[in-house]
Structure formats: C-alpha cells, structure tokens
Amino acid sequence: MAEYPVVIGGFPKGSLNRSSRGSAAALLYGAGFNLGGTYCPDMPDNDIGAIRLVNFPRVVGIGFDSQTGPGRLYTGEADFAIYGDDWAREFELKGMPTKRLAGLPFGGVNVVVGVKEDVMDKLGELSDGPTEEIENLYEALMRMAEREGRPLVGAAELPKIAADHVMSTRAFKNRYPGMTVTEMSPSGGTVTNGGATPLYVVRHVISQAESQLEMGPHSADYIIDCTQTRSSFRKKEIAVASRIMPSEASVRTTEIAMADEYKANIIDFMAWMLSKSKLTYDEPDLDDSYKIAANVLRHRVTTIVQMSLDKGYCDKRPNITPEAGDRKYIELGMRMPVEKWPEFAFDAWNLSKRFFKEDGEPAIDDIERHVTQSLTMAGFGPFNKPAAATKADR
C-alpha cells in the first residue's frame, strides 16, 4: 500500500474496550477495519502505532484511558480520540474543550447523584419538599451537615462536574452566595469559601465512588458517579436521586487538528465510518471479500465504476442493474477484498462529498457490505457528507 501522512487516533482502553459496554475494538471491526490483533484493553499508554489499522494505514492508534484522554487530545498527543461525553465535559470545565464530531453506538451511561437509601429516608424530615427534586435534596443535605456541625461531603470521580452541578442549584447559591468550589484532589478537595471554614467539600476519588458511602458520612454524604444499569447501586442500597447528564462514547477532535486540511478530511471520515458501524466481535479477515451493493445516482455511476477499476478495488467491471424507467438511483454491485474496503469507502466518501456540493443530493444513497458467507456486516449511507454531531458541541 502507498504511504500517507499519519493521523493519530486515541483509542480507548479499559472500560470502553470491554465487551460488557460494547468495546471500541468491536466498533472498528464493524466498520471493516482489520487491526492485526494489536488492540486489547490493557495496552500501553504512549506507544504510538501500538494499534494498527492494517487495511487503512493512514491512521495509527495510541491507547487512551477516559480519565486522561481528553487532556491528552487537547495537548496534541492525538489528532482525534474516542471517549465519553462525561469526561469531555469534565475537561471542558478544566479549560480544555474539544469538538464533538459524532456519537457512537456504545458506552452509554448516565451521570447521577446517589445517596444511601437510609439517608434518603432521614433527609425527608429536613426537606421542604420531595427529595427526588434536586433543589430539595441539596438543601436537606446541607441542613443535615449543619446540624451535625461538619462540612457536607460529596465524592466524585468527575469532581468538576460535581462542583459545577451543585453550584448551579438555588440551594447552594442562597446558602453560600458568591462562593465557589475551586479545586479538588484525591487528598480531600477544597471548600466553598476559599479554605477558611470547611462548609462544603467535593472529594475526588479515582474510581468506585459508591464505596465512599460505605465509609460513613465523614467520607461522603452523597456521590456523583456514572451508572449504566444501576445494578451496582442497587447492590449497595444507593438511591439515584437525580440524573445530571447522559453520556455516550463519541469521536472528538481539536481546532488545531482540524486546521490541517488533510488531517481534517481523515478525521471527518473516521467519525463518519465509526458512527455508522454495527458492533461485531469478529475481526475482518483480510483474505475474505465483501459483496458490495450500492445505490448510485444515475449520472455518477460511470465515475464510481471507473474509480473502482482504476484503483483495483474490484478485479472486474461491477454489475449494474439494468436501468428501469426514470429511476434516479441505480444499483451497483461488486465483490471487493476486505483489505481494500476502507480505502474504497474513503475514496467513495470524498467523491460523494464533491458530488453532493454539485448535485445537492447524495451520489451514493446507500451501501451495504456482506462477507462471502452472506452475513450482513453493516449498512452505510448516504455517502454525502461528514458525520453530523448528534448533540450540540460542548
């Protein structure tokens, strides 16, 4: 294969690459990328090229964990990366924003406020209304801590989100006007009035925030944590008092990376491909082939066919369904080695972007891949433009 300038992707290790939550490897497999067996949850952090996209060498990968990935992307260790919206928000609050290109079909969790069930019962006596409402909950928690003559303590793996959330409530603003939670650390956090009297503390925990509730109120009165099914909360008798935000895995990049035209094109393509992927745990076999079926604008068929032949994406002229009446799209069929699929998709995607500007509609309206054994792998389409963010950029 030809050599290209390399674009570096930050691919998640840890929880976002374990099958219980979907797996980033399954996402890449489902988009037709062969990784040569290089991707595993516990790969090294800093080995650029540790993850190889064998059939798309324009991109090499580096292992990222969610807790540091947004910061590493922001400082330029990678050109794009995959991690959760929750950690993207955490680092945005630290002054390190990144651009969301596309949501991905795995890694979905909710960031929630959790309180021990027996404590929730006690808080009802201190509240002016239902503690299911977050304003009432925080007011009751603050009153409880005051009665006991100690600071209110929250524990969170996402301390900036935790602090931002509580400071946005009327309960906090009315009780501590003009005060802020400024800085958190694993050793204990800071207080609302700059360090004089400890009124409120957010304790930064590295993982398993729910365990802090087991250690008594001086460890944590409430937690802010991520949960997918709430099963761990139920086991530890933790009530979910409120949802702060949903989070899913997403493709992210930076303004600096997107300022490079070549990189921007590759990054947009990867975001589009991954957002269309259907998860599969079988790595594509480079010796296998795909049966490609695509609906192509009638007046663009010749260009797509010629490109496929000139670049060796298929070894014989693609099949074209006989034209019927005035159909705008006609079906194009070909057999293609798995080894060449990503490059074909990249070229077809770029052609379609150009044609979309000229025609105002997709040149390739839909494309499906089937492996030789006729197992449907994924449906892609339309091939008209980069992936659009499914939520507003944070």
Instruction: Give me 391's structure tokens.
Output: 């939520």
Q: Is the pTM of this model over 0.85?
A: no
Q: For all residues of the chain together, what is the average pLDDT?
A: 79
Domain ranges of the chain: 7-106+248-276, 111-246, 289-380
- CATH dotted code for 7-106+248-276: 3.40.190.10
Domains 7-106+248-276 and 289-380 share a fold: no
70 pLDDT band, cuts 50/70/90, is very high
- CATH dotted code for 289-380: 3.30.70.120
The span from the CA of 175 to the CA of 172, in Å, is: 5
Q: Which residues contact 291 (CB under 8 A, 6 or more apart)?
A: 333, 334, 335, 369, 370, 371, 372, 374
SS3 of residue 323 by DSSP? coil
pLDDT tens digits along 5-44: 889 999 887 666 665 556 778 888 889 999 887 766 555 5
Report the pLDDT value the prediction gives residue 262, as an integer from 0 to 100.
94
Q: Are 225 and 204 in contact (CB under 8 A)?
A: no
Report the pLDDT value the prediction gives residue 87, as an integer from 0 to 100.
92
Q: Are 55 and 343 in contact (CB under 8 A)?
A: yes
pLDDT tens digits along 286-325: 888 888 888 888 888 899 999 999 999 987 888 888 665 5
Report the pLDDT value the prediction gives residue 192, as an integer from 0 to 100.
42
pLDDT tens digits along 331-382: 889 888 999 999 999 999 898 888 888 888 888 887 877 765 444 455 665 6
- CATH dotted code for 111-246: 3.40.190
